[in-house]
Amino acid sequence: MNIGIIGTGYVGLVTGVSFASKGHMIRCVDVVEEKVEMISKGISPIYEEGLELLLKDVIAKGLFEVTLDFEYVVSNSDVVFICVGTPSLPDGSMSYEYVDNAAKEIAQVLRKQKKYKMIVVKSTCIPGTTISHVGPIIEKESGLKLGENFGLGMNPEFLREGVAINDFLYPDRVVIGVTDENAKNIMMQCYDGFLAPFVCVDPTSAEMIKYVANCFLATKISYFNEMANLAESFGADINEVVEAVGMDHRISEKFMKAGIGWGGSCFPKDMRALLHKSKEFGISSKILQAALDTNEVQPFEAVRLLKSVFQEERLEAKKIAVLGLAFKPNTDDMREAPSIPIIKLLLKEGAQVVATDPIAVTSAAKILSHQNLLYVKTPEEAIQNADACILVTEWSDYINLPPETFKENMKTPIIIDGRRVYNHQKFREKGIKYSGIGLGR
């Protein structure tokens, strides 16, 4: 099929490259010249495992193009996916500026070309947006009729950064939100060959599925983070608790790894947007609010543990190593990363912070700079002569560091394990003072 992709951000680029790898002809458009230039040369502007390799491959096969020319993309497409950003506004609601612009521009081409096209919203939008907002914009601007002259769909993404290509090509399910049979058939053709259950619903339910999934996962983690804090007080070990609880297939062991909180571009934004909307409806979403509140303070647990090991309230002149800056491993994304509030608090308490990350240092340096904050390349440099070390992001390079490395390089070998990835017994046997989230002994 001829598929057009509006926006080459995370979702757009992964969607385009993945569809092209399935044999579709993909044409992408973006307004940022620099990005278009990079992508057309086979360089990915974002760090994502396997993306660049696949991008180069589909370009070489002639199945992938990227341009600044909106009309060219839309007029040559049977299906157009809207993959633009829906950023948060200060009150937690979302801005639909880019979605609106995309819809208007698509409508202009439809008006000229008068050829049936399927328009699909992939951007995460509050339930109701596709039908009550996008559809009417296209009808008004094009003078055409939904269902007759163009089709409309909503197709949420469930891509995790770091494994997005895999999540796209091997999904747990493909959710297709459509209003008629014709639109459904076109969507099924896009996903032809995908070995996943297809869930066909109306567009508003499709939008809601995305929110309910993300908000549940975020709430699940917050619940286990709260249980971790309790486990510590009880003298229990949250890792042992979680392992046994997760064996209950009704609960599942996924997404309940306790730590210093969730971040990224999706969970925080989606939780706030749903909460904002529920307030508008006059519904008090106490669970969403509690999960957000829990997450807001969870990063500070790492600093609390640190202070309790030092048995001091201030961290004046203490040299603290921070391992990991990105919101999770295998990405350089710093959006809402727990490292930010942790480092800010350490600096406020007078500490000297030496931070490292395999790939996120450049993005971190744009957000956080301070005379007492130093970025270094390797974990060995970060822990050199340090009074303590906080593991913030569980990169495999850091997980595999043996206790000896800490013992030999640090001034005082104190580890605060914010992700509970180290074997505390082994570390303690080697004379390291180990303290971790949810470990009460």
* Using rule CB under 6 A, residue 263 touches ligand UGA: yes
Q: Find the part of the chain contacting ligand UGA (CB under 6 A) among 249-257, 280-288, 359-367, 368-376.
A: 249-257
Annotated catalytic residue 266? yes
Binding test (CB under 6 A) with ligand UGA, winner from 116, 223, 255, 300: 255
CB of 402 to ligand UGA, least distance (A): 24
| Residue 223 near ligand UGA by CB under 6 A | no
Q: Which of 221, 271, 368, 416 binds ligand UGA (CB under 6 A)?
A: 221
Can you tell me the distance from the alpha carbon of 278 to that of 265, in angstroms, rounded to the nearest whole number? Answer: 21
Q: Binding to ligand UGA by residue 259, rule CB under 6 A?
A: yes
CB of 62 vs ligand UGA, minimal distance in Å: 29
Query: Segment 141-180, which members bind ligand UGA (CB under 6 A)?
Result: 157-161
Residues 90-149 binding ligand UGA (CB under 6 A) are 124
C-beta closer to ligand UGA: residue 65 or 332:
332
Closer by beta carbon to ligand UGA, 135 or else 329 = 329
Choose the binding region for ligand UGA from 115-123, 257-265, 347-355, 422-430 (rule: CB under 6 A).
257-265
Neighbours of 95 (CB within 10 A): 12
Task: Give me the least distance between CB of 410 and ligand UGA, in Å please.
Answer: 25
Does position 257 interact with ligand UGA (CB under 6 A)? The reply is yes
For residue 357, the minimal CB distance to ligand UGA (Å) is: 14
Q: Between residues 47 and 116, which has the closer beta carbon with respect to ligand UGA?
A: 47
Shortest distance (Å) from residue 218 CB to ligand UGA: 7
Residue 332 near ligand UGA by CB under 6 A: no
Secondary structure in 3-state letters for the chain = CEEEEECCCHHHHHHHHHHHHCCCEEEEECCCHHHHHHHHCCCCCCCCCCHHHHHHHHHHCCCEEEECCHHHHHHCCCEEEECCCCCECCCCCECCHHHHHHHHHHHHHHHHHCCCEEEEECCCCCCCHHHHHHHHHHHHHHCCCECCCEEEEECCCCCCCCCHHHHHHCCCCEEEEECCHHHHHHHHHHCCCCCCCEEEECHHHHHHHHHHHHHHHHHHHHHHHHHHHHHHHHCCEHHHHHHHHHCCCCCCCCCCCCCCCCCCCCHHHHHHHHHHHHHHCCCCCHHHHHHHHHHHHCCHHHHHHHHHHHCCCCCCCCEEEEECCCCCCCCCCCCCCCHHHHHHHHHHCCCEEEEECCCCHHHHHHHCCCCCEEEECCHHHHHCCCCEEEECCCCHHHHCCCHHHHHHHCCCCEEEECCCCCCHHHHHHCCCEEEECCECC
Distance of CA 55 to the CA centre of its chain: 21
Sequence-separated (6 or more) residues with CB below 8 Å from residue 225: 258, 259, 261, 294, 295, 298, 437
- Indicate which single residue of 186, 238, 266, 360 sits in contact with ligand UGA (rule: CB under 6 A): 266
Q: Which is nearer to ligand UGA, 328 or 424 (CB)?
A: 328
Closest to ligand UGA by CB, 30 vs 161, is 161
Please count the residues of the chain.
441
Question: Is 335 a residue that touches ligand UGA (CB under 6 A)?
Answer: no
Q: Which of 190, 215, 266, 389 is catalytic?
A: 266
Number of residues lying near ligand UGA (CB under 6 A):
20
Q: If binding is defined by CB under 6 A, does position 24 make contact with ligand UGA? A: no
Q: Near ligand UGA by CB under 6 A, which window of 18-26, 53-61, 187-195, 252-260?
A: 252-260
Instruction: Pick the closer one to ligand UGA by CB: 194 or 310.
Output: 194
Least separation in angstroms between CB 304 and ligand UGA: 18
Footprint on this chain of ligand UGA (rule: CB under 6 A): 124, 157-161, 214, 217, 221, 255-257, 259, 262-264, 266-267, 327-328
Query: Catalytic amino acids?
Result: 266
